[in-house]
Structure 1
Amino acid sequence: MDAIFSLVSNNLLSPPVLFFVLGFVGTLAGSQLTLPEAVAKMLSIYLMLAIGFKGGVALAAEGPSTALLLALLSGVVLSALIPLVAFGILNVVSNLPRVDAAAVAAHYGSISIVTFVASTQALTFAGLPQEGFMVAVAAAMETPAILVALWLANKARPARPDAAHGGNGLLHEVMLNSSVVVLMGAFVIGAVTGESGMEAISGFIVTPFTGVLCLFLLDMGAVAGRGMKQGRDVLNARLIGFGLAMPFIGAAIAMPFAWASGLSAGGAALLLTLAASASYIAVPAAMRLALPEARPSVYLTLSLGVTFPLNLSIGIPAYAMLGRWIAGG
Structure 2
Amino acid sequence: MIDAVVAFFILGILAQLLGAKLSFPDGLYKTLSLFLMVAIGLKGGIALQQHIDPALLTMSLAVVAFGLLLPLVAYPLLRYFGQLDKINAGAIAAHYGSVSVATYAVAVALLEAANIAYEAYFPLFVVLLEMPAIVVGLVLAKGSLKVINRTFVKKELIANQSILIMVGSLIIGFVGGESVQKLTPFFVELFSGVLALFLLKMGLVAGEQLGTLKKNSIFLISFAILMPMLGGLAGTGLGVILGLSAGGLALMAVLGASASYIAVPAAMKESLPEANAGMSITASLGITFPFNVLLGVPFFIALGQYLGA
State the partner residue of 1:123: 111
Alignment of 1:142-181 (within 5 A): 142-155=130-143, 168-169=151-152, 171-181=154-164
Residue 278 in structure 1 maps to residue 278 in structure 2: no
Alignment of 1:279-318 (within 5 A): 279-318=260-299
Q: CA deviation at 1:112?
A: 0.5
Alignment of 1:39-188 (within 5 A): 39-66=28-55, 68-155=56-143, 168-169=151-152, 171-188=154-171
Specify which of 203, 206, 212 is matched with residue 194 of structure 2: 212
State the partner residue of 1:228: 210
Using the TM superposition, name which of 293-302 and 68-77 deviates more: 68-77
**Counterpart residue identity of residue 259, structure 1:** V
> What SS does the corresponding residue of 2:130 show, helix, strand or coil?
coil
**Counterpart residue identity of residue 28, structure 1:** L
Q: CA deviation at 1:233?
A: 4.6
Q: CA deviation at 1:91?
A: 2.7
Q: CA deviation at 1:176?
A: 2.0
**Counterpart residue identity of residue 258, structure 1:** G
Instruction: Give the Cα–Cα distance (whole angstroms) in 2 for the partners of residues 37 and 77 of structure 1.
Output: 38
> What SS does the corresponding residue of 1:204 show, helix, strand or coil?
helix
How many residue pairs get aligned? The number is 309
Instruction: Give the Cα–Cα distance (whole angstroms) in 2 for the partners of residues 142 and 63 of structure 1.
Output: 21
**Counterpart residue identity of residue 81, structure 2:** V
Instruction: Give the Cα–Cα distance (whole angstroms) in 1 for the partners of residues 277 and 153 of structure 2.
Output: 17
Q: Are residues 296 and 324 of structure 1, via their aligned partners in 2, closer, same or farther at CA, if it must alter by over 3 Å?
A: same
Q: CA deviation at 1:171?
A: 4.1
Instruction: Give the Cα–Cα distance (whole angstroms) in 2 for the partners of residues 41 and 34 of structure 1.
Output: 14
Structure 1 contact 51–135 (Cα < 8 Å) conserved: yes
Using the TM superposition, name which of 233-242 and 107-116 deviates more: 233-242
Q: CA deviation at 1:242?
A: 0.9
Q: Are residues 258 and 178 of structure 1, via their aligned partners in 2, closer, same or farther at CA, if it must alter by over 3 Å?
A: same
C-alpha RMSD over aligned residues: 2.2
Per-residue CA deviation, residues 165-210 of structure 1 (Å, 9 max, x unaligned), is: 8x6146412332222222222222222234x345423321232211
Report the identity percentage: 39
Specify which of 213, 228, 235 is matched with residue 247 of structure 1: 228
**Counterpart residue identity of residue 206, structure 2:** A
**Counterpart residue identity of residue 307, structure 1:** T
Using the TM superposition, name which of 305-314 and 48-57 deviates more: 48-57
Specify which of 173, 193, 212 is matched with residue 190 of structure 1: 173
Structure 1 contact 100–294 (Cα < 8 Å) conserved: yes
Q: Are residues 197 and 325 of structure 1, via their aligned partners in 2, closer, same or farther at CA, if it must alter by over 3 Å?
A: farther
Instruction: Give the Cα–Cα distance (whole angstroms) in 2 for the partners of residues 205 and 103 of structure 1.
Output: 33
Q: CA deviation at 1:311?
A: 0.7
> What SS does the corresponding residue of 2:126 show, helix, strand or coil?
helix
> Structure 1, unaligned stretches of length 5 or more?
1-8
Structure 1 contact 110–141 (Cα < 8 Å) conserved: yes
> What SS does the corresponding residue of 1:141 show, helix, strand or coil?
helix
> What SS does the corresponding residue of 2:209 show, helix, strand or coil?
helix
Specify which of 241, 261, 266 is matched with residue 247 of structure 2: 266
Specify which of 193, 200, 203 is matched with residue 185 of structure 2: 203
State the partner residue of 1:4: none
Instruction: Give the Cα–Cα distance (whole angstroms) in 1 for the partners of residues 303 and 265 of structure 2.
Output: 30
**Counterpart residue identity of residue 208, structure 1:** L
Using the TM superposition, name which of 249-258 and 107-116 deviates more: 249-258
> What SS does the corresponding residue of 2:176 show, helix, strand or coil?
helix
Q: Are residues 234 and 296 of structure 1, via their aligned partners in 2, closer, same or farther at CA, if it must alter by over 3 Å?
A: farther
TM-score by length of 1: 0.87
**Counterpart residue identity of residue 282, structure 1:** A
State the partner residue of 1:5: none
TM-score by length of 2: 0.92
